[in-house]
């Protein structure tokens, strides 16, 4: 089949998500897609980059909760040339005479935005989540959708039994048409939902087909579903997709690569630290799958007297630590002499302190921005702009109970120091 002009026939809609309570406190003042990842990116950069690498350059990002930092990032980052039709535009939830309420779910968000989206010419709508980590060629998915004459395509991934109950699970026939769907099945129902996911996947125990929350809709089908057939349904996964299987041609587009739904603090933490492995499951170093983000004019990282082991270090960092191991260090991070950073994601800082500001804060007893001297930090996430004093000890692990404090939160044994928190000299967790 001849290669299609995907940029002219596909328009992408990236969902900004809800309040993001499962990622609290990282979402206390920002939306999920705006959460920093891998030291120098934001989560929303992942779906946008996948679109650009798939030659899709027309994108809308639908936002509602804590959207200021996300809007600023997109405005400062994604600029297409004057002779290009490409754009990344924000569609914020808005009250109108027809829609007096906010977005009530994924489907409702798209429904309320159709009047803006349909000002453009396209054949297919690609609907994406703003809080997932993956590298997919959407060109293949669109061509498969077109070749099979599908109304709806769902990107699917094989998962194992321990994960299956967290997803919408489906079954497909030999031609990949979806025949049945169940949302987050209980474990006792799983034996009836085993699928032929291929020899390699079966060998790994990944025998259930899970929806990735990535959809392709034909333009007229999307309009019909949202406005005529199911006008009261607000969510794609829970309501619309299960009911569409009998009425429309819905196909499964199986993906066997790395994919992570960044829904919990634990999955966010693990996904970031995995980037420090010798061969990480998510490849930041693939020229054909570039991850785009804001181009900051930062100096190179500066390191003095440190032992580094399996560590990712971002631009502008100043590191004088004794040891940094199995960690990700974000932009403009500062780590003082004699400190040890283990199994930790340090998000870094939005600015540098001047020598005058440092001297003034020293007089007031305010710790310098970053991590001070002789600190020990293990199994933690340090959000942006934290001030960690000298001789601070943070030792995360299963011995800590889940709890929330003014300066930090503990979830699944991971200590999350809140954005802008100040931990004075000798502080211990």
- Token digits of residue 173: 């026939």
What is the rounded CA–CA span in Å between residue 398 and residue 409? Answer: 14
CATH class, range 296-423: mainly beta
What is the rounded CA–CA span in Å between residue 287 and residue 245? Answer: 38
Other C-beta atoms lying within 10 Å of the C-beta of residue 376: 17
Residue that the structure tokens 């920093």 belong to:
36
Nearest one of 60, 55, 200, 208 to 142, comparing CA atoms:
55
Contact 225, 146 (CB under 8 A): no
Q: Is the dihedral of CA 420, 421, 423, 427 positive or negative?
A: negative
Confidence (pLDDT) at 68: 83
Confidence label for 64 from pLDDT (cuts 50, 70 and 90): confident
Confidence (pLDDT) at 1: 45
11-53 pLDDT, tens per residue?
999 998 766 688 999 999 888 889 999 999 999 999 999 999 9
What is the rounded CA–CA span in Å between residue 177 and residue 211? Answer: 14
Q: Would the pLDDT of 104 be above 80?
A: no
Q: Give mean pLDDT, residues 226-239.
A: 90
- Token digits of residue 383: 């959000």
If one compares 129 and 105, the residue with the highest pLDDT of the two is 129
Q: Would the pLDDT of 96 be above 70?
A: no
Q: Is the dihedral of CA 363, 364, 365, 366 positive or negative?
A: negative
Confidence (pLDDT) at 147: 94
Domain ranges of the chain: 6-276, 296-423
- pLDDT, averaged across the chain: 91
Fold: same for 6-276 and 296-423? no
Nearest one of 212, 281, 269, 213 to 37, comparing CA atoms:
269
Q: Would the pLDDT of 309 be above 90?
A: yes
180-193 pLDDT, tens per residue?
999 889 988 998 99
Using only C-alpha atoms, what is the Rg of the chain?
23
- Three-class SS string for the chain? CCCCCHHHHEEEEEECCCCCHHHCCCCCCCCHHHCEECCCEECCHHHHHHHHHCCCCEEEEEECCCCHHHHHHHHHHCCCCCCCCCEEEEEECCCCCCCCCCCCCHHHHHHHHHHHHCCCCCCEEEEEECCEEECCCHHHHHHHHHHCCCCEEEEEEEECHHHHCCCEEEEECCCCEEEEEEECCCHHHHHHHCCCCCHHHHHCCCCEEEEEEEEEEEHHHHHHHHHHHCCCCCCHHHHHHHHHCCCCCEEEEECCCCEEECCCHHHHHHHHHHHHCCCCCCCCCCHHHCCCCCCCCCCCCEECCCEEEEEEECCCCEECCCEEEEEEECCCCEECCCCEEEEEEECCCCCCCCHHHHHHHHHHCCCCCEECCCCEEEEEEECCCCEECCCCEEECCCCCCCEECCCEEEECCEEEECCCCEECCCCEC
Confidence (pTM): 0.92
Query: Can you identify the CATH homologous superfamily of domain 6-276?
Result: Spore Coat Polysaccharide Biosynthesis Protein SpsA; Chain A (3.90.550.10)
395-410 pLDDT, tens per residue?
999 999 999 999 999 9
């Amino acid at each position: 089949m001849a290669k299609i002009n995907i940029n002219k026939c596909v328009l992408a809609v990236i969902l900004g998500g809800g309040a993001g309570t499962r990622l609290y406190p990282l979402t206390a003042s920002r939306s999920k897609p705006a959460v920093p990842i891998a030291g120098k990116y934001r989560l929303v950069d992942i779906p946008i980059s996948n679109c650009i690498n798939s030659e899709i350059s027309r994108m809308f990002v639908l936002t509602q909760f804590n959207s200021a930092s996300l809007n600023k990032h997109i405005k400062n980052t994604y600029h297409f040339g004057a002779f290009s039709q490409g754009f990344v535009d924000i569609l914020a939830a808005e009250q109108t005479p027809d829609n007096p309420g906010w977005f009530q779910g994924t489907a409702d968000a798209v429904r309320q935005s159709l009047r803006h989206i349909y000002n453009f010419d396209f054949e297919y709508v690609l609907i994406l989540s703003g809080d997932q980590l993956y590298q997919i060629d959407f060109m293949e998915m669109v061509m498969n959708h077109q070749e099979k004459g599908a109304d709806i395509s769902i990107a699917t991934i094989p998962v194992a039994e321990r994960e299956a109950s967290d997803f919408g699970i489906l079954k497909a026939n030999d031609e990949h048409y979806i025949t049945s769907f169940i949302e987050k099945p209980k474990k006792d129902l799983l034996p009836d939902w085993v699928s032929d996911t291929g020899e390699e996947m079966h060998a790994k125990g990944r025998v259930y087909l899970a929806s990735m929350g990535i959809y392709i809709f034909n333009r007229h089908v999307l309009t019909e579903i949202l406005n005529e057939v199911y006008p009261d349904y607000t969510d794609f996964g829970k309501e619309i997709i299960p009911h569409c299987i009998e009425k429309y041609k819905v196909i499964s587009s199986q993906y066997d690569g790395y994919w992570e739904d960044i829904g919990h603090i634990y999955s966010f933490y693990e996904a970031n630290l995995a980037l420090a492995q010798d061969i990480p499951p998510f490849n930041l170093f693939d020229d054909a799958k570039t991850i785009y983000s804001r181009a900051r004019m930062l100096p190179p990282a500066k390191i003095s007297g440190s032992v580094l082991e399996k560590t990712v270090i971002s631009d502008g960092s100043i590191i004088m630590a004794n040891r940094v191991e199995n960690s990700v260090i974000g932009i403009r991070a500062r780590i003082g002499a004699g400190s040890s950073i283990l199994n930790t994601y340090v998000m870094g800082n939005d600015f540098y302190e001047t020598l005058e500001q440092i001297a003034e804060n020293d007089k007031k007893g305010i710790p310098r921005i970053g991590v001070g001297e002789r600190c020990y930090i293990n199994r933690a996430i340090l959000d942006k702009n934290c001030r960690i004093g000298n001789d601070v000890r943070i030792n995360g692990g299963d011995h800590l109970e889940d709890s929330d404090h003014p300066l930090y939160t503990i979830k699944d044994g991971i200590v999350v120091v809140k954005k802008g928190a100040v931990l004075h000299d000798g502080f211990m967790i």
